[in-house]
Structure 1
Amino acid sequence: MDNMVDHVDEENVNQVVDPGKGVPSNEDATPGFELPLLLFAGFRTLIERLHAELARQGHPDMRPAHGYALQAIAASPYGATASDIGRRLGVSKQAAGKTVDRLLALGYAARADDPADARRKLVRLTPHGIDALSRSAAVFDELRADWAARLGPDRVRDLEAALRAVVPAETTFRLDATSWLGGA
């Protein structure tokens, strides 16, 4: 996305401008489209660095969706059903089921009988899945420390507090991004 449609004028219906160029010098006049792009780029940078490090540490098959699903499974001390995982992540039971199948194949999770209802199957983390989550947490701490070293710890804390103030708590950990990015 090198160029964006920034505004409309009388001669050129859609004027294309480079991000950060063609904008008034007023500090508060940053184009509105830059904020979501910067937030997304920051997210992608962190996630890509995380997965590169996880690959180096013995988890080359881990993908972002796997990590979120592992967290959803770990949220329950007894395990979770595919429906539970789907609800926690904001995806369909079928999408959650596909992710669970992949986690099972990779050895990150295992199925177990539900002690409260023999008809239900629970998904539980294996030692390999627990290791991946532990390593992810450590790497995220390192990535946050890197941002704090670059920006200063107060600015990182302020950024986190500001985002908590504007992000509704119920959407913080939803994965249904494909629905709003134009996917199926």
Structure 2
Amino acid sequence: MTNSTAPDQDGPGFALPLLLFAGFRTLIDRLHAELAVQGHPELRPSHGFALQAIGTAGTTASEMGRRLGVSKQAAGKTADRLEALGYVERVDDTQDARRKLVRLTAHGVDALVRSARIFDELRAEWAAALGPQQLRDMEAGLRRMTPGNFFRLDAPGWFSS
């Protein structure tokens, strides 16, 4: 996306969310291109949200759906897909025999570990391009402007609502 506004001029209000989204997409697209090279070509952005929603302790499909802002059925379909790809498994819940937990496999954990490493590399690239202080200032400004619980996993549900 090219910015036709000079750096010292304010752009139209609608440009801010578009630029934020373009930055997000740039990072996510680069992440997935690198994950593909590193052995995870089938992972999609929605899968990353789902893996985060499942977490290291595992969760039920119902709770996964709540965390993602989607129905239990939609979460179940995502879990089915991730299970078919080898990223999660379903196991009996030791706390409640009526429930099944969706739990990360070693392949799922590997994807999350690699994602974290790649995000660190991408952040370092941004720091090199913008300058470390400008990047820290941008991050600090975004923290000021977002709620304290800004890390919400419900983007898939939010986008489809």
TM over 0.5: yes
Residue in structure 2 matched with residue 89 of structure 1 by the alignment: 68
Residue in structure 1 matched with residue 40 of structure 2 by the alignment: 59
How far 1:53 moved relative to its partner?
0.3
Which structure exhibits the higher relative contact order, with contacts defined as CA atoms closer than 8 Å and separated by 6 or more residues?
A: 2
**AA in 1 matched with 2:87:** Y
Within-5 A mapping of 1:110-125: 110-125=89-104
Give the one of 125, 129, 135 matched to 1:146: 125
Once the two structures are superposed, residues 154-174 of structure 1 have per-residue CA deviations (whole angstroms, 9 ceiling, x without a partner) of 111111111111112345323
Q: Give 1 or 2 for the bigger CA radius of gyration.
A: 1
Residue in structure 2 matched with residue 103 of structure 1 by the alignment: 82
How far 1:74 moved relative to its partner?
1.7
Once the two structures are superposed, residues 106-156 of structure 1 have per-residue CA deviations (whole angstroms, 9 ceiling, x without a partner) of 000000000010000001110100110111000000000000001111111
How far 1:37 moved relative to its partner?
0.7
**AA in 1 matched with 2:60:** T
- C-alpha root-mean-square deviation of aligned residues, in Å? 2.2
Specify the SS of the correspondent of 2:127: helix
Q: Quote the Cα distance in structure 2 between the aligned partners of 1:174 and 1:133.
A: 15
User: Residue 132 in 1 paired to residue 119 in 2?
Assistant: no
| Structure 2: stretches of 5+ with no match in the other structure | none
The answer (yes or no) to whether the contact 1:81–1:120 under 8 Å persists in 2 is: yes
**AA in 1 matched with 2:133:** D
The answer (yes or no) to whether the contact 1:91–1:176 under 8 Å persists in 2 is: no
Specify the SS of the correspondent of 1:169: coil
Number of aligned residue pairs: 161
Distance of aligned partners of 1:172 and 1:85 in 2 relative to their CA distance in 1, 3 Å threshold: same
Q: Quote the Cα distance in structure 2 between the aligned partners of 1:96 and 1:163.
A: 30
